[in-house]
């Protein structure tokens, strides 16, 4: 139940207009890492991204996948691992969201530089790629932080009410430190 809701949330909020990079995918990866088994978190991310990419490609008339795709998906998988690793630490969700934002920025833009022809294959070209991406980083960081807090805040009361149904609540609230 929870994974299906998270997939729907990710796909919907990637497709509807929003500020650049202010989507819930990174936060959902952190949240999934904190609350789901690792294989389920990875599957959730892959399905969310693939469905979102297909919908965006259909809407905007471009290819759903590119040479950058493995870098983007890989960054989200790492965010899930960060969420998992820090789930029992107080402030771990925020820490994972922050580290995850930087991880996404570093990996996705490395992929843009390696796979594209927009920047020369030099250290200066890599620097130019990262510099050009800086205006988008604010949206990533803000989106990851706000969505992480929102998902975590929504999960606690819901999980507390439904803990008698373990198939609905994968991780009891007592196993999660506060955001």
Q: What DSSP line would sit under 14-77, residue for residue?
A: HHS--STT--SHHHHHHHHHHHS-HHHHHHHHHHHHHHHHHHHHHHHTS-S--TTHHHHHHHHH
Handedness of CA 87, 104, 94, 31 (dihedral sign): negative
Q: Is residue 107 part of a domain?
A: yes
Q: Is residue 178 part of a domain?
A: no
Q: Is residue 62 part of a domain?
A: yes
The answer to whether the beta carbons of residues 94 and 79 sit under 8 Å apart is no
Per-residue confidence (pLDDT) for residue 152, from 0 to 100: 87
Per-residue confidence (pLDDT) for residue 52, from 0 to 100: 95
Looking at the structure of the chain, the number of domains it has is 1
**Residue found under tokens 């490609």:** 57
What's this model's pTM, rounded to 2 decimal places?
0.88
The residue range of the domain holding 72 is 2-172
Per-residue confidence (pLDDT) for residue 82, from 0 to 100: 97
Other Cβ atoms less than 10 A from the Cβ of 114: the count is: 14
Q: Is residue 47 part of a domain?
A: yes
Per-residue confidence (pLDDT) for residue 121, from 0 to 100: 94
Q: Is residue 179 part of a domain?
A: no
Per-residue confidence (pLDDT) for residue 44, from 0 to 100: 95
Nearest-angstrom CA–CA distance, 163 and 61 = 44
Per-residue confidence (pLDDT) for residue 30, from 0 to 100: 96
The tens-digit pLDDT sequence of the chain (179 residues) is: 778 888 998 899 889 888 888 989 999 999 999 988 899 999 999 999 999 999 999 999 999 999 999 999 999 999 999 999 998 898 999 999 999 999 999 999 999 999 988 999 999 999 999 999 999 999 999 999 999 999 988 887 777 666 666 555 566 555 665 65
Q: Is residue 41 part of a domain?
A: yes
Q: Is residue 69 part of a domain?
A: yes
């Amino acid at each position: 139940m929870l994974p299906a809701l998270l997939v729907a949330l990710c796909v919907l909020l990637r497709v509807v207009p929003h500020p650049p990079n202010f989507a819930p995918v990174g936060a959902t990866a952190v949240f999934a890492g904190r609350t789901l088994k690792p294989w389920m978190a990875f599957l959730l991310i892959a399905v969310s991204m693939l469905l979102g990419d297909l919908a965006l490609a259909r809407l905007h008339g471009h290819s759903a996948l590119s040479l950058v795709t493995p870098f983007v998906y890989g960054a989200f998988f790492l965010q899930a691992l960060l969420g998992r690793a820090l789930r029992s630490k107080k402030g771990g969700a925020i820490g994972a969201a922050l580290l995850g934002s930087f991880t996404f920025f570093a990996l996705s833009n490395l992929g843009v530089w390696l796979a594209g022809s927009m920047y020369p294959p030099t250290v200066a070209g890599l620097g130019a790629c990262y510099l050009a991406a800086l205006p988008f980083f604010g949206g990533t960081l803000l989106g990851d932080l706000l969505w992480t807090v929102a998902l975590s805040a929504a999960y606690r009361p819901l999980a507390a009410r439904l803990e008698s149904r373990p198939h609905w609540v994968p991780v009891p609230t007592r196993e999660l430190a506060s955001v």
